[in-house]
Amino acid sequence: MAERADAPRVGPAGTLEQLLATKEIAISCGSGGVGKTTTAAAAGAMAAAHLGGKVLVLTVDPAKRLANALGLEQFGNVERQVPAELFQAVGVDPRGELFAAMLDTKESWDALVRTHAPDIQTRDAILANPLYKNITGKFVQSHDYIAMERLHEIHVSGRYDLIIVDTPPTRNAIDFLEAPERMADFFSSRLLRWLITPYRSRLINAASRPFYNVADRILGSQFLEDIAEFFILFQTMYDGFVERARAVTRTLEDRRTTFLVVSTLEEAPVREAEFFIDALDDRGFHLGALVLNKVLPAYFLDDGATAVAEVLCRKADPIAEEIAVADLGTADHVARVLREVGESFLNYRVVATREAEQRKELGRAPEVVASAPFFETDIYDLAGLLRLGERIWR
């Protein structure tokens, strides 16, 4: 049924295939619930199957179903290969290899600290600091940064030809785009030095004393000292961090990096998509494709079909009489079914019309616009991912 339920295709030149063949990093972004993770995985599976080379899907979404769909028991911070047999089992002989990994924020932070800490004592002191644990475990901003940091790390390692990244929902989009820059700002900020200096020197100068008096009253001096200790320790990694954060920003700006904006045609996701497209534009990032998921079939916009639905609602009784055959049941019964069929069509047509409007409003479309229909079931295996992939690929 899904195959028959054709979603209209729009967008002239360019395909996802061409786009991904020429890029090294594709970042999939969009509002929650629009199929961002699934789209990233489907694009990755298609790239591995048809483009060759080593393809990595890096997700921040711990969806167990996606792990299952890729034939992996579970995701981890370490990349794992999706067995080629899984492709072969669905009749695809992949030209390349597909890998998948899920970002583990805590583990990635720990790895980063191990890399940048000047010595073992500092390293251990940071890893044991309660504030460090708190920041890395709980707070989402650190999640945004580490996702981009990890992407950069994998990219420069040269282990993959193409990395497809799934991101947190766009409400944080700007956050994660700006995360590397903010991290650099943070570590190079004069305020940070101002904050920790008195605790280092134990000499509070006249200029900053009132600030500490106020801060002490609010937070208590113990907490302030905890913060200070944490930042003093982190300062030892200052150079490494700032350099890294800048490199990560450069990676995002690089022409080999592209962004896939994923959306449905519902009002809120469309607005998020527009917002995101603008944000990419402002920052000079490359918008490669717009992928529209769960698009209602084109027949809902067909005038002929609509006329049929209206006739079914209005004249269900005479039509039921007219088409009566022996095994169909009473005319009353048939008329009721016909009315329900007609009403359902008209209900969905309202939605389809609204969505067609939304689609028009996504005017400033990128080179590639791909759309995928409502699939009758959720995607739970590689075959499903490839089925979705086929719809958005060419």
Partner 1 sequence: MAAAPLALLDRRLLFVTGKGGVGKTSMAAALALLGSAHGKRTLACEVDAKGNLADFFEAEPNTFQPQELTPGLFAMAMNTEESLKEYLRLQLKVPLLARIGPFARSLDFVANAAPGVKEILTVGKLFWEVREEHYDLVVVDASATGHIIGQLAAPQAINELVKVGRVRDQTRWMVDLLSDPATTGAIIVATPEEMPVTETLELAGRIRAETEVDLAAVIVNKVLPELFGRGEEETFDRLREPDLVGALSRATGGPAESVLDAAELAVTLRRTRAEHIARLRNEMPDGIALLYVPYLFTRTHGVRATRHVAEALAAELGY
Subset of residues 371 to 390 that bind partner 1, contact rule: CB under 8 A = 374, 376-378
**CA atoms lying within 13 Å on the CB side of residue 245:** 22
Q: Which of 127, 242, 311, 383 binds partner 1 (CB under 8 A)?
A: 311
Closest CB to partner 1 among residues 48, 233: 233
CA distance 236 to 220: 25
- For the beta sheet containing 25-29, the strands, ordered from the edge strand earlier in sequence to the opposite edge, are 80-82, 96-102, 53-59, 162-166, 25-29, 257-263, 287-295, 368-373
Closest CB to partner 1 among residues 135, 365: 135
Closest CB to partner 1 among residues 125, 305: 305
Place of tokens 């106020």: 214
Based on the shown chain and the rule CB under 8 A, indicate whether residue 85 belongs to the binding site for partner 1: no
Closest distance to partner 1 from the beta carbon of 277 (Å): 14
Q: Which of 3, 114, 194, 281 binds partner 1 (CB under 8 A)?
A: 194
Other beta carbons within 10 angstroms of residue 48's beta carbon come to 28
Q: Which of 17, 20, 27, 31 binds partner 1 (CB under 8 A)?
A: 31
Of 12, 166, 156, 13, residue with least CA distance to 75: 166
Q: Which region, judged by CB under 8 A, interacts with partner 1, from 48-56, 149-157, 282-290, 331-339?
A: 331-339
Q: Which region, judged by CB under 8 A, interacts with partner 1, from 20-28, 115-123, 280-288, 345-353?
A: 345-353
Based on the shown chain and the rule CB under 8 A, indicate whether residue 10 belongs to the binding site for partner 1: no
Based on the shown chain and the rule CB under 8 A, indicate whether residue 307 belongs to the binding site for partner 1: yes
Based on the shown chain and the rule CB under 8 A, indicate whether residue 192 belongs to the binding site for partner 1: yes
Site for partner 1 in 118-157 (CB under 8 A): 130-131, 134-135, 138-140
The rounded radius of gyration (Å) of the Cα atoms in the chain is 27
Q: Which region, judged by CB under 8 A, interacts with partner 1, from 20-28, 79-87, 109-117, 338-346?
A: 338-346
Closest CB to partner 1 among residues 3, 253: 3
Of 103, 187, 185, 115, residue with least CA distance to 147: 103
Closest CB to partner 1 among residues 173, 248: 173
Closest distance to partner 1 from the beta carbon of 311 (Å): 5
Look up residue 193 and give its two tokens.
Answer: 């030095």
Closest distance to partner 1 from the beta carbon of 335 (Å): 10
Q: Which region, judged by CB under 8 A, interacts with partner 1, from 87-95, 280-288, 328-336, 386-394?
A: 328-336
User: Which residues make beta-bridge pairs with 290?
Assistant: 261, 369
Q: Which of 157, 255, 325, 363 binds partner 1 (CB under 8 A)?
A: 325
DSSP for 68-119?
Answer: HHTT-S---SS-EEEPHHHHHHTT---SEEEEEEE--HHHHHHHHHHHH-SS
Q: Which of 90, 242, 337, 383 binds partner 1 (CB under 8 A)?
A: 337
Based on the shown chain and the rule CB under 8 A, indicate whether residue 51 belongs to the binding site for partner 1: no
Closest CB to partner 1 among residues 2, 111: 2
Site for partner 1 in 257-296 (CB under 8 A): 264, 266-269, 271, 275
Based on the shown chain and the rule CB under 8 A, indicate whether residue 214 belongs to the binding site for partner 1: yes
Based on the shown chain and the rule CB under 8 A, indicate whether residue 209 belongs to the binding site for partner 1: no
Q: Which region, judged by CB under 8 A, interacts with partner 1, from 114-122, 248-256, 318-326, 361-369?
A: 318-326
CA distance 44 to 50: 10
Helix, strand, or coil (residue 291): strand
CA distance 293 to 7: 10
CA distance 129 to 137: 12
**Residue count, binding to partner 1 (CB under 8 A):** 86
Based on the shown chain and the rule CB under 8 A, indicate whether residue 205 belongs to the binding site for partner 1: no
Based on the shown chain and the rule CB under 8 A, indicate whether residue 225 belongs to the binding site for partner 1: no
Alpha helices in the chain (DSSP H): 16-21, 36-50, 64-69, 84-89, 105-116, 120-128, 130-138, 140-157, 173-188, 190-201, 209-219, 221-235, 238-253, 267-282, 303-314, 316-323, 331-361, 382-393
Closest CB to partner 1 among residues 75, 300: 300
Q: How far are the Cα atoms of 98, 110, 127, 291 from residue 104, in angstroms, in the given order?
A: 20, 10, 16, 27
The 346-375 contact track toward partner 1, x by CB under 8 A, reads -xx-xx-xx-------------------x-
User: Which residues make beta-bridge pairs with 28?
Assistant: 166, 260
